[in-house]
Copies of this chain bind each other. A is one copy, B any other.
Amino acid sequence: MNAYYTDEVHGKHEYYDLGGFPLRSGYTLPEAGIAYKTHGTLNAAKDNAVLFPHMYSGTSASMEIFIGEGRPLDPSKYFIILPGQFGGGFSSSPSNTPAPYDRGQFPPLAIADDVIAQHRLVTEHFGISTLHAVLGWSMGAQQTYEWAVRFPEMVPRGAVFAGNGRTPVHNQVFIDLHTELLTSDPEFKDGFYSDSADLRLALKRHAVAFSLMGFSAAFYRDELWRSLGFVSSNDFRQGFLRGYFAPMDPNNLLAQASKWRAGDISDHTGGDVAAALGRITAQFFVASFSEDLFFPPEDHDADCAHIPNGHRRPIETPMGHFGMFCLREEDQAAVDAVIAEMLDA
């Protein structure tokens, strides 16, 4: 058990038992479970729930920076559900599943698996028939797309930040690189290591890849790491990115990344992305970050053009994909504005 994926680090989680859970890949995950956190109270009409899945490498707690009294995601108004994704370390993951589905033999996942598990949590456990909204960033955006296409009647409002209906090919090349970096550590042993703390080399290499692609040329050119309290770019890379990824489990990261890479809403429509996006009935807000090297603004333009009630909301920031971390006040204001507009749509 990796000490990082615990309530001590990420706050108290709840768990919903999914039983034997059939995955899109054809495997059945025995005794599967979905972890989640909630904020606020489900009202009697059960119509104030907002679902906010998290991004790659994150946990339910990662999304809590967007929640607060007086903020758009106000827990005095909404019942905010923060589901943990499969592979995220709290829901069923390589790091917490018993043999013979553990570690290097955890079955392949799909974005749809997460959404189907979340749907069961929302409907079976909470008895909710319509969500007020679904939103997410990056892999959370991929899950939001999957929700809006798979269960359009349940999603009257949605917002995606820096994510696409189908993962761009250039982005897939990054995932391939990322996979090389995590698996190249001699301690990786096809995923059958006993302690993720031994995977220092894998996690160090992986952090270099995110130093490159997670931020932008402008971020380094303008020395924006200074605003985070670092004294050099190396200091930032070591203190922020290596520090962030160091306690994580490489098998978990790989399980998430393979879903990210394969994300494709057109699985619903025989490969026709436009047709899949055309199924979205929600008032749907499509936000991107300029300089995003993972999910460039151009790909958001293309997605939004096919969504009947799509509203394009590009956000200008030199922070690249990690604009969503809201390390700049302007970024938080811009993100909150899109969330507020969407919640009231």
Comparing A97-105, A120-128, A176-184, the segment that makes contact with chain B is: A176-184
* Known A-B contacts A186-B186, A205-B184; A237 and B173 likewise in contact (beta carbons under 8 Å): yes
| A169 and B218 within 8 A (CB) | no
Closest B residue, CB atoms, query A211: B173
A186 and B186 CA atoms in complex are apart in Å by 8
Question: Within residues 206 to 250 of chain A, which ones have a CB less than 8 A from any CB in chain B?
Answer: 208-209, 211-213, 215-221, 233, 237
Of B208, B217, B299, the residue contacting A298 (CB under 8 A) is B217
Taking the closest CB of chain B, its distance from the CB of A254, in whole angstroms, is 15
- Is A174 at the interface (CB under 8 A from chain B)? yes
Residue pair A170, B217 in contact (C-beta under 8 Å):
yes
Inter-chain contacts of A140 with B (CB < 8 A): none
Q: Is A296 positioned at the interface, with any CB of B under 8 Å from its CB?
A: yes
Q: Contact at B220–A168, with CB atoms within 8 Å?
A: yes
Are A220 and B180 touching (Cβ within 8 A)?
Answer: no
Residues of the B chain whose Cβ atoms lie less than 8 Å from the Cβ of A209: 177
Main secondary structure of the interface of A (DSSP, over half): helix
A159-191 CB mask vs B (1 if < 8 Å, else 0) is 000000000111111101100110011100000
Asked if B180 contacts A205 (CB within 8 A), the reply is: yes
Q: Are B176 and A208 in contact (CB under 8 A)?
A: yes
A interface residues, Cβ below 8 angstroms from B: 168-174, 176-177, 180-181, 184-186, 201, 205, 208-209, 211-213, 215-221, 233, 237, 293, 296, 298-299
Which 7 A-B pairs give the minimum distances between C-beta atoms?
A169-B220, A184-B184, A170-B217, A170-B220, A173-B212, A180-B205, A177-B208
Q: What are 21 A-B pairs at a CB distance below 8 A?
A: A168-B221, A169-B233, A170-B219, A170-B221, A171-B217, A173-B208, A173-B211, A173-B212, A173-B237, A177-B205, A177-B212, A180-B181, A181-B181, A184-B185, A184-B201, A217-B296, A217-B298, A218-B298, A221-B298, A221-B299, A293-B293
